[in-house]
Amino acid sequence: MAAIPRRLNPLQAVWLSLRPHQWTKNLVVFAAPALSMHLFERGPLEKSVLGFVIFCALSGTVYLLNDVADLERDRLHPRKRLRPIASGALSPRVAVVLSLGLGLGSLGLSALLGLRFVLCAAAYLALNILYSFRLKEIVIVDVLSVSLGFVLRAVAGGVAIAVPISDWLLVCTLLLAVFLALAKRRHELVSLTTSATGHRKILAEYSPYLLDQMISVVTASCLIAYAVYTMAPETVQKYRTERLAWTIPFVLYGIFRYLYLVHQKEKGGSPTDILVTDLPLLLNVFLWALALLWIVYTAGGSPMPLTRCGPIRSPSHRGCGGTPVTFEIRAEGVDVEQVMREIRAAIEEKKKAGLLTDEEIREVASRPLRPVLQPHDLKSGLLAELLERPSRWNFDFETEAIYRSSRGRAGRVLEGIRRLLRPIQKLFWNPTPMIAALSRQKDVNAAYAHLLHNLVLEVTRLNLEVVDLKSRTLQLQGRLEFQARREKTLETMALGRTAPDREDGTA
């Protein structure tokens, strides 16, 4: 950070106290949207930018409080003594009032991105307040606290657009942040020499040798974690490419270049200053980001699904032969969900009545039902196909289908061009709504197939009851006819016996 003159107007003092040059740390918010392939979509991009602005404001809040808490120590530092609060250009009381207002305003603004983002922002603010007043005085915990701030930024980036957060993203972010924090501690310890403990008491617990050992461990861990992530089977399956491993040399050079600047050039006090001022490192980061985006967005992988879905969804659907599907579907004049509730209620009633079990119904339903369902003559071939050959019921939709072509070799070339220009294409036409609509239609089709399956089973059960009632009716009718014949016979026998008695009486 460049030297700050002592005479500053209030606005300049406030602006410099917010440390806008440090806001590049908040670019971690864009990591999850970029890796989930939603960065170039208007809605997610707007939410990501809003999340970035909120974390810049939260960072400014933390910097104001931290400068007030470290006022006396900063005056001993050769560069930090020039900060507005340490130099007297900005009153500590004004800084506290500004930090409170900025912090509350940022938390209020974060409500636009949902409750989970509010929790991430509040956790970030609480963590940094604890760091400013207590955690920075605990050895090793101080470094981990700084690193967790980067992890919370990454988590907030995923939460802002409601996309699942990769565990690998969190691990790599944590290790890289620990590496930068340890390098900063080493720079402070070496550059301040005898006054190091006066500036930061926790530096008395560290030594250059200890920090070098920690940096070595974290450096190796960071490189291994990133390399394993790029070549992991789930990563290859997710992005449908193995080319992410091509970005490993950029990460390797970046870490080695940073270590060179820390050890040979005695830099490292401010990672953001190094990133901005060191041209080779800046160019390396730019090329790494460009290569990563190009590989991710042109490899043919599908964008990660957003966890917030519309009114049509089937989260528990397991196929036509699985458990009953849970869904919300509304058709014109038909409440399908109400129909399903009535069907399930009827099935439960029949179970309690001791009729047929589910296993017996499925066993019957797997056979041709023509002889059983007379006189309706209902064919069960549809149910048989549904149970025996589910591949015929293809409800799967591949998002890559919208980029494919059926023109042979020319089509393959056209497909490659479409994939290459996909990031640019999304700036003019966003296929995500159509993909989401087709995916939801797939769920609706699967739900209707499952509904048809349940309806056929219910019709089977009802017709079996009809057959059973017919059988009982016939048995009852036979008994009634037998009883009628018996009564008639008894009546005839009685009349035959009374006839002689009458004749004797007459005589």
pLDDT of residue 319: 37
Cβ atoms within 10 Å, residue 286: 11
pLDDT for the residue 332: 47
Domain ranges of the chain: 1-163, 166-303, 342-468
The pLDDT of residue 381: 52
> What's the CATH class of domain 1-163?
mainly alpha
- Residues 462, 359: Cα–Cα separation, whole Å: 15
Q: How far apart are CA 147 and CA 152, in angstroms?
A: 9
- Pair of tokens at residue 395: 């409800």
Residue 151: pLDDT band (50, 70, 90) is very high
Number of residues written out for the chain: 507
Q: Give the per-residue pLDDT at 225.
A: 92
**Which residue(s) pair with 331 in the sheet?**
334
Q: What angle do CA 184, 186, 191 make, to 5 degrees?
A: 95
With 60 as the cut, is the pLDDT of residue 320 above it? no
* Reduced 3-state DSSP string for 314-380: CCCCCCCCCCCCCCCCCECCECHHHHHHHHHHHHHHHHHCCCCCHHHHHHHHCCCCCCCCCCCCCCC
pLDDT at 331: 44
Question: Average pLDDT, stretch 33-49?
Answer: 90
pLDDT at residue 289 above 80? yes
Q: Quick one: which of 118, 225, 246, 127 has its CA closest to 170?
A: 225
> Measured between alpha carbons, how far is residue 172 from residues 237, 272, 460 in Å?
20, 18, 57
Give yes or no for residue 193 having a pLDDT over 80: no
Q: What was the pLDDT predicted at 12? A: 83
N-term to C-term CA, the chain: 146
Give the whole-number percent of the chain exceeding pLDDT 70. Answer: 69
Average pLDDT of the chain, as a whole number = 76
State mean pLDDT over 103-123: 92
Instruction: Classify 135 as helix, strand or coil.
Output: helix
- Nearest alpha carbon to residue 259 among 182, 149, 147, 200: 182
Q: Say whether the peptide bond before residue 390 is cis (omega within 30 degrees of 0).
A: no
- pLDDT of 400 above 90: no
* pLDDT at residue 454 greater than cutoff 80: no
Q: Please, are residues 63 and 85 in contact by the beta-carbon 8 Å criterion? A: no
Residue 507 has pLDDT above 50, yes or no: no
